[in-house]
Chains A and B, each alone.
Chain A
């Protein structure tokens, strides 16, 4: 009976992340527009955009290969599987033991690998710009988040996300310097990986400022819809990650009752809104960086994560 219940819970989680991802993006866009004293698009616009794109015909470049057509599905599958393994409303996911935090990050890395290949496939200069910049950013963002994972895993005693989420929710964790440094590093990496200002502008179409948009320039129709949905899922994943690790209040325990699950879901939506508001305010108040300032930005995140790990190695209470 519990197996069926856990299966339903896991399935609900998968469906929930898929449904909430465009809403989060719509919320952030609306808020940014309002902060700039514009009306902004309606809250549900990303859903309409996705449906519209899905119905359109794909226009494929003549020299695109089979890989170009398969990659959107690979990216979507990888990101969705990773997103369904991050605890949202409750930490007792059925399949959380199949991939720990390092594996989740590596799954996102696979998705990014294939996206960079897609940029190279059509043989245009724009794709090359996007792919080369993306791998440069990834070459620093991925070590930074891995070392952050190390720091958190050493404090929590495990790399399993469910165990980490439960540990953070319990009273055994105090206010630690390493966790503060890890939080700052994780926020910086989340901004870089999701292509938000100041690393990349998600609304731009100028080649000087493109990273993500340049790689997906040749995609259209249902392929573009899948890639957009994947990047929205990735944003939701990172926000859920920060929420479950550093804002664990209200999440349901494993094997909890229905009421606890409902409370968990409500607090989760509250956490999403908070993070969305913070992200929108941050993006509106700061300008985009020069491309070659980004390595220094991410290098700072790597250094902070390394410092957090070092402090943990050197002293148990830090």
Chain B
């Protein structure tokens, strides 16, 4: 209907939403980091494709930044922090995975409704891409809200960042300087959070946000 280019762009945006849902599903910390690396990789692909069809070569730089920093360096660094601090490697949830996924689907539906009703006159493809980007942002927030482990909250924050980048590249004409500043802010946030994690660990001997390490045993 709209040509192969837009279909591929949509598919990549949809895959990003799928990767966010996979982030919700994980219950082990290393697996979460791997899925986050996949998330960033899909984002890099999506941005590169947008660069291709919009004929905007500066977006290739954004894609490379996403690939190198977010898909490789940050997951590796977080991996090493986990090993060094000896952080508890199971992710504790506030509510079960099932309910979180239902909430996730509800959020995707909500963002679709909002986007498609608020922008009736805009280009239909841009609207749908924006709807997907908003879903990724909301899902990132959901991850932050429903996890007790600080590292998983950081990952949620990063995936939220990815959603914003997707939105920015979907709308044509965003200058590169914003991209670089966004990437740097992520880096700085990560350093700060790393320092905080160290502090929390020293103080409380654990980084389990909220309840300290308790043996929970089998779920009721």
Contacts and interface: CB of A to CB of B under 8 A. Distances in A.
Interface of A: 174-177, 180-181, 184, 292-293, 295-296, 299-300, 303-304, 306-307, 310-311, 314-315, 317-318
A293 B14 CA distance: 25
Contacts of B13: 177
A310 B128 contact: no
Contact of B14 (A177, A300, A310): A177
A315 B120 CA distance: 13
B97 interface: yes
A289 to B, nearest CB: 11
Interface residues of B, number: 30
B11 A177 contact: yes
A169 to B, nearest CB: 17
A118 B124 CA distance: 54
Given A174-B2, A303-B102, A315 B14 contact: no
A311 B112 contact: yes
B15 A176 contact: no
Interface in B101-134: 101-102, 104-105, 108-109, 112-113, 116, 124, 128
9 contacts: A175-B11, A177-B13, A181-B18, A293-B27, A295-B98, A296-B96, A296-B97, A303-B105, A318-B14
A174 B4 contact: yes
Interface of B: 1-2, 4, 7-8, 10-11, 13-15, 17-18, 21, 25, 27, 96-98, 101-102, 104-105, 108-109, 112-113, 116, 124, 128, 219
Given A184-B18, A299-B98, A303-B105, A176 B112 contact: no
Contacts, number: 71
Contact of B112 (A175, A181, A292, A310): A310
Given A177-B14, A315-B116, A318-B128, 17 more contacts: A174-B2, A175-B7, A175-B11, A177-B10, A293-B27, A296-B97, A296-B98, A299-B98, A300-B21, A306-B105, A307-B17, A310-B108, A310-B112, A311-B14, A315-B124, A317-B10, A318-B10
B21 A176 contact: no
B191 to A, nearest CB: 34
B10 A296 contact: no
B8 A175 contact: yes
B107 to A, nearest CB: 11
A2 B60 CA distance: 58
A292 B96 CA distance: 12
A176 B10 contact: yes
A314 B101 CA distance: 20
Contacts of A299: 97-98, 101
B15 A180 contact: yes
A307 B108 contact: yes
B105 A310 contact: yes
